[in-house]
Amino acid sequence: MKDFEYAAAATLDEAVSLLAARGERAKILAGGTDIIVQLREGLREADLVVDVKKIPEIMTYRFDPASGLSLGAAVPCYRIYEDGDVAAAYPALADAARIIGGWQIQSRASIGGNLCNSSPAADSIPALIALGAACKIAGPEGMRSVPVEQFCTSPGKNVLRRGELLVSIQFPPPAAKSGSHYLRFIPRNEMDIAVVGAGAWLRMQDGVIAEGRIGLAAVAPTPKLAEQASRFLAGKPASEETFRQAGELARQSASPISDMRGPAQYRLHLVGVLTRRALAKAAERAGA
Amino acid sequence: MGKKLHVTTTINGEQVEFLCEARQSLLEVLRDVLGLTGAKEGCNNGNCGACTVLFDGLPVDSCLVLGVEAEGATIQTVEGIACDGRLHPLQQCFLEGAALQCGVCTPGFLVAAKALLDKHPHATEEQIRFELSGNLCRCTGYDKIVRAVMEAAKEMTHA
């Protein structure tokens, strides 16, 4: 690995000015489970690595059923699924946090890091999209907010500009009679990259689905919101037939490639199956 | 060679100071700077778990932690598992159950399994298999490893 300078920023302002001064030559270090590998293998280069784990806003989270969850960008995955209140309020998030790598990875890796790595196959992003989360970004011009489904722009790339960093991910308060789920298909039992990932969130009202959201991974250059399939759910009964039709619509929004993890046709098939299963589990959790 | 940084940390209960370059992983520091060669370099990219150490009590892949990140941390390696010259029940059960062949994955399995049993003394077979999924073994087929951990759990809870 090429050597670099290391700086542990103590505040957001310090991180922003370090990143603004060095631009592309500076890289952010959160859990390190992606960036250290990428620097070692020459996939990304840095003259300066800015460790953000000493910044309080980035390493803490706050959950209040009335105002929602503010999840610091570098909070490690294990803290999410070990907090029973957070896991119960945002089950799709806990599902994803529990299957990103193994325990060793979950001790360090964060949801914010998963977002900023911006892999098309990122496990947490479909869950974040389904849950309607937004990214809180700090930069030289102050704070701004971007919906998660607009954060990634192409494989490995996102909307962060020079000097900007992801501070936290904001989740709306858990709605009554709502439920969510994330699942993926991998050929192994654990420890693999998704062939396809699907996240679903549903809110029930008066015996039917009031609204729903479906997020997909590994079927396009970025994780994405299956818009048509999501809209279709409103007003429908929480039935196998509804979920099957939503799966069909989700397939239409997918544009997968063929690669070592699977051919495009197979991925399209998986989109239908996983969307249906994610919705069924979300509905079960919503008490439908 | 890059500038050396001074780091103070606690390893296996002792305060340790070392110098390292920013690019050096904790694994490189442990093995090449401090001579603690228990943690092994398998894949060097976070897949195999052979380099597992406890970092502030949590299992981590030391190949995915920078040495400088150890500043102020508490680290436990496989060298710190045996106590007063006596093997830990996990080590004893691995030996008695022949839960290793080439041995490269063993230190990582021991550290991860210790973390698991410290947290879940009555871990089920399924829990053991799930929580140790970050440790790969290319010799044993895992079964003897899982059985050794179950045996150690039994001994530790009866002790």
Residue B73: its chain A contacts at CB < 8 A? none
pLDDT attached to residue B1 = 59
pLDDT in tens, A209-237: 999 999 999 999 999 999 999 999 999 99
Contact A105 B58 (CB under 8 A): no
pLDDT at A253: 96
The tokens describing B151, both together, are 């045996």
Please list the alpha-helical segments (H only) found in A205-263: 227-232, 240-252
The complex's ipTM works out to: 0.96
Q: What does the pLDDT average to over A4-33? A: 97
In terms of C-beta density within 10 A (0-12 exposed, 13-18 middle, 19 or more buried), how is residue A258 classed? exposed
A interface with B, Cβ–Cβ < 8 A, is 1-6, 29, 31-33, 36-37, 39-41, 49, 51, 53, 78, 101-105, 107-108, 189-191
For testing contact with chain B, the best of A52, A103, A186 (most B CBs within 10 A): A103
Mean pLDDT value of segment A149-167: 98
Q: Measured between CA atoms, how close is B96 to chain A, in angstroms?
A: 26
pLDDT of residue A191: 86
The separation between the first and the last C-alpha atoms of chain B, rounded to the nearest angstrom, is 51
**HEC secondary structure over B68-85:** HHHCCCEEECHHHCCECC
Q: Look at residue A129 in the predicted model and tell me its pLDDT.
A: 98
Substitution target from B5, B7, B20, B23 for chain A, most A beta carbons within 10 A: B23
- Domain boundaries of chain A, sorted by first residue: 5-51, 58-171, 178-285
Residue A16 burial (CB < 10 Å; 0-12/13-18/19+)? buried
| Both structure tokens of A213 | 């959201």
Q: Residue B134 is nearest to which of A53, A102, A189, comparing CB atoms?
A: A102
Q: Give chain B's contact residues with A (Cβ, < 8 Å).
A: 1-3, 5, 21-23, 25, 44-47, 49, 52, 55, 58-61, 63-66, 68-69, 112, 115-116, 130-135
Q: How many residue contacts between A and B have a Cβ separation below 8 Å?
A: 87
Shortest CA distance from A78: residue in chain B: B58
Rg of chain B over Cα atoms, rounded to whole angstroms, equals: 16
> Which candidate, A82, A81, A103, places its Cα nearest to that of A93?
A81
- A175 CB contacts (<8 Å, ≥6 apart)? A203
Percent of chain A residues topping a pLDDT of 70: 100
- C-alpha to C-alpha distance for B87 and B90, rounded to whole angstroms: 8
Question: For the residues B36-43, what does the mean pLDDT come to?
Answer: 98
In chain B, where the domains are located: 4-79, 89-158
Using CA atoms, how far residue A96 sits from A53, A123, B30, in Å, is 21, 6, 32
Does pLDDT of A248 surpass 70? yes
Separation of first and last alpha carbons in chain A: 53
Written out in words, the top-level CATH class of the domain with range A178-285 is: alpha beta
Mean pLDDT of A148-166: 98
Average pLDDT, integer, range B68-82 = 97
CA nearest B127 in A: which residue?
A: A103
Residues on chain A touching B58 (C-beta within 8 angstroms): 78, 107
Distance from CA of B63 to the nearest CA of A (A): 8
Residues of B in contact with A189 (CB under 8 A): 133
Structure tokens, A171: 């989740």
Q: Which residues of A touch B67 (CB under 8 A)?
A: none
pLDDT at A288: 86
Average pLDDT of every residue of chain A: 97
CATH architecture of B89-158: Orthogonal Bundle (1.10)
Strand, helix or coil at A123?
coil
Q: Under CATH, which number does the domain A5-51 receive?
A: 3.30.43.10
B133 to chain A: which residues are within 8 Å by CB?
102-103, 189-191
Domain B4-79: CATH superfamily is: Beta-grasp domain (3.10.20.30)
Q: What is the dotted CATH code of the domain comprising A58-171? A: 3.30.465.10
> Do the domains at B4-79 and B89-158 have one common CATH topology?
no
